[in-house]
Structure 1
Amino acid sequence: MKTEIIPHVGFGKVKLGQTLGQIEKLLGKPNENKRNYYREDNSNEVVLKYHHIGADLVFSSDNSFRLSSITLFSRAFTLNGKSLIGSNQSELILKFKNLFEDLKLDDDFEELNAKDYSIDSIGISFWLDNGIIESITLFPKYQNDNETIIWPK
């Protein structure tokens, strides 16, 4: 079954801005629950890993532990009706460069043979390893100050 990614929102009933409790009510207990601490800015995050759907959900202390980003790994997720996980770099560019003029290469990690592409207008990034899309990450929409999040309704 295919699940459409909704830019700046999420997928299905999962929406950016939801709480840990709301997500566990929707998806049940995660396969893994990981906590990260970042000394440089004294922030924390909780990552709920749902292997059975192919998603990692990140809740950041910077956002009062609301769902701050979603990383998808499964071919079941589609964007504009297209399944992208497993596609190569050329397919990504061909499928989306005409639709989203702001598709750009953010980082080229030559030592890892990895690249990070993004489409800022829809809050999505693509992680490519050895030229193949391994994951898609969704981010919320921000106000013009690029700091204040506009959570989906």
Structure 2
Amino acid sequence: MRIHPGVGVGVVEYGITEKELISIIGDPDKIDEEEYVQGSGDWHRVLWYWSRNIHFTFDKDDDYRLGTITVVGSDYPLMEKELFNLPQETVRHFVAIVTGEIPKREDWMWSEEGTHTCLEHNGLGILFWFDNGNLSEMQCSYLFEPDNETVIWPQGHKKKAKWRMNTHLLLALYLRSANEIFDFFANYSCYCRLRNGGAQADSSSSSKNRSNRGF
């Protein structure tokens, strides 16, 4: 069940309705409806699937179309890599190398001890949350047009958000020796082969997955 940045998770895409989601993966364990801030009118609904370590958020501002998918456990690889429980710097380094964008550290701590911290990656539309320094949650959402206001709704499961490698920036920031440069290009070449292979695997198995009402 891969995370497809800007598109969705597995065969579940941003922009679908609650009814469509349930028809794909079945009934949720629980449904919550509440305001982000009491009295503000910014209502949202959350469909919880605890056994799958995932939940889906439908905002009133999006006409209750699926806008956020939050994964809170393993089996949801991003760019062919399982990231859960990895240290913050490992996640930050990997995402920056693959995308060419360095995730920003956000000062959104949920405890006085600062044990719940966050990295934000605008290009992927993902917030990476860490408990005690290790990745515990990925909050994934749709992307925006350059005006940062217009939502880019996906046009189908096969459409993937695109990112570019900024090689010069990455070499300057992360690579310290000739050996690291060699490892970098070797790993990136391997990633490209895996990514292409994964796309073919997705195509061949999509019908079977839909018939099982799963991801």
TM over 0.5: yes
| Fraction of identical pairs, as percent | 27
Q: Who is 2:63 aligned against? A: 64
1:40 & 1:9 partners in 2: Cα distance? 32
Q: Who is 1:11 aligned against? A: 9
2:77 & 2:39 partners in 1: Cα distance? 35
2:148 maps to 1:146: yes
Per-residue CA distance 1:7-49 (angstroms, 9 max, x = gap): 0111111001110000010011101111112336311100000
Give the CA deviation at 1:94.
2.7
Q: Who is 2:163 aligned against? A: none
Q: Who is 1:103 aligned against? A: 103
Q: Who is 2:22 aligned against? A: 24
| Structure in which a larger fraction of residues adopt helix | 2
* Unpaired runs of at least 5, structure 1: none
Q: Is the 8 A contact 1:57 1:71 kept in 2?
A: yes
- SS of equivalent residue, structure 1 residue 77: coil
Q: TM-score, normalised by structure 1?
A: 0.92
Q: Who is 1:127 aligned against? A: 129
Q: TM-score, normalised by structure 2?
A: 0.66
Q: Is the 8 A contact 2:95 2:102 kept in 1?
A: no
- SS of equivalent residue, structure 2 residue 51: coil
Larger radius of gyration: 2
Change (3 A) 1:40 1:120: farther
2:105 & 2:9 partners in 1: Cα distance? 24
Per-residue CA distance 1:75-102 (angstroms, 9 max, x = gap): 1000111111111112212322222323
Residue pairs, 1:48-63, within 5 angstroms: 48-63=47-62
Of residues 106-115 and 46-55 in structure 1, the stretch that sits farther from structure 2 once superposed is 106-115
Of residues 14-23 and 29-38 in structure 1, the stretch that sits farther from structure 2 once superposed is 29-38
Of residues 73-82 and 91-100 in structure 1, the stretch that sits farther from structure 2 once superposed is 91-100
Q: Who is 2:88 aligned against? A: 89
Change (3 A) 1:102 1:93: closer
2:38 maps to 1:36: no
| Structure in which a larger fraction of residues adopt strand | 1
Amino acid at match of 1:103: P
Q: Is the 8 A contact 1:102 1:121 kept in 2?
A: no
* Unpaired runs of at least 5, structure 2: 156-215
Equivalent pairs counted in the alignment come to 151
1:41 & 1:9 partners in 2: Cα distance? 29
